[in-house]
Amino acid sequence: MSSVNRFDVITIFPDYLAPLSLSLIGKAQASGLISIGIHDLRDQTTDVHGSVDDTPYGGGAGMVMSPEPWGKAIDQVAELAPGEIHELIVLTPAGEKFTQELAQELTNSKHLIFACGRYEGIDVRVSDFYSKAKNFKVREVSIGDYVLGGGEVATLVIMEAIIRLIPGVIGNPASLDEESHTLTSESGVLVEYPNYTKPKEWRGLNVPDILLSGNHGEIAKWRLEQAQIRTKNRPS
C-alpha cells in the first residue's frame, strides 16, 4: 500500500487534462506528494474507429457510452494501486453535490479513479457493477446544477480542490484555515473576508485603517465580522 495519493483519470480527451501539469498540482507531482495518470478510453476499444458509444436502449436522442471499454479501463487502472480501496468517481449531473467538506473527505482516499463521461453519459451498469466489486467504492458526483460537454472540466475542479488540501502541497498550511468554506463561526461556515495588498491607496480607494493598525486582535475581529457580512449578503 502506498503513502502517496494516486489519481487516475479515464477520458476520451486526454489533452483536456493538461492543466494538471501546471502550478501547485504540477509541483506536487514533481515533489512526489501525489501521482497522476491520464488514460485514453479509446485504448480499450477493438474496432478501427475506436468506438466508445452506441444507441440507447428504449430509443431517444444522443448516444450512451458502452460499458465494456469502461470495464477494461477501470480494471487496468486498479492494477496500478494494488492493495488500495479504489474510489471510482463518476461525474454526472445526477450525483451528490461537490462541496469543500467532500473535498476534505476525499483526501483520505489513496486511490481515486475519475470516469469522465460524454454524450448522454456512461451505461449505468458500470456504476452498478463496481459498487458491488471487491475493493471498490463508487461515488456519483456533480459540481453543480448545469450541464457540461463532459466530465473533464468537473474532474479538474474536483482534483484541484482535493489536492491543495493534501499536507505539503500548500506552502503555508495556515492559509487553508481562513479560506472560504473553511472559515467558521457560531453561525456556520463562512466565505472569506476581503483581502488587500499594497499600495495603501489605489484609484481613490483606501485600505481600511484597521488593517494598518498592527492590532492583531482587532484585525481578527474585523475579518470575522466582514466574513459574516459577506456570507449573509452572498447571492443565493
How far apart are the C-alpha atoms of 24 and 107, rounded to whole Å? 16
As to burial, measured by CB atoms within 10 angstroms (0-12 exposed, 13-18 middle, 19+ buried), residue 124 is middle
* Every domain range in the chain assigned CATH 1.10.1270.20: 171-231
- The CATH code of domain 3-162 reads 3.40.1280.10
Q: What is the pTM of this model?
A: 0.86
Q: Secondary structure of the chain: what % helix, strand, coil (to 5)?
A: 35, 20, 40
SS3 173: helix
CA dihedral (51, 52, 56, 61) positive or negative: negative
| Positions of CATH 3.40.1280.10 in the chain | 3-162
Q: Which cell goes with 37? A: 495518470
Q: What is the pLDDT of residue 192?
A: 87
Is the bond preceding residue 199 a cis peptide, omega within 30 degrees? yes
Mapping DSSP to helix (H, G, I), strand (E, B) and coil, where does residue 199 land? coil
Provide the residue-wise pLDDT of the chain in tens; the chain has 236 residues. 566 899 999 999 999 999 999 999 999 999 999 999 999 999 999 888 889 999 998 998 899 999 999 999 999 999 999 999 999 999 999 999 999 999 999 999 999 999 999 998 999 999 999 999 999 999 999 999 988 999 999 999 999 999 999 999 987 766 665 554 455 555 578 888 999 999 999 999 999 999 999 999 999 999 999 999 999 998 87
User: CA geometry: angle at 25 spanning 22 and 28, to 5°?
Assistant: 120
Looking at residue 46, its pLDDT comes to: 87
171-231: in CATH 1.10.1270.20? yes
DSSP code of residue 174:
G
CA angle, 204 then 206 then 208, to 5°: 160
Q: Which amino acid is at 151?
A: G
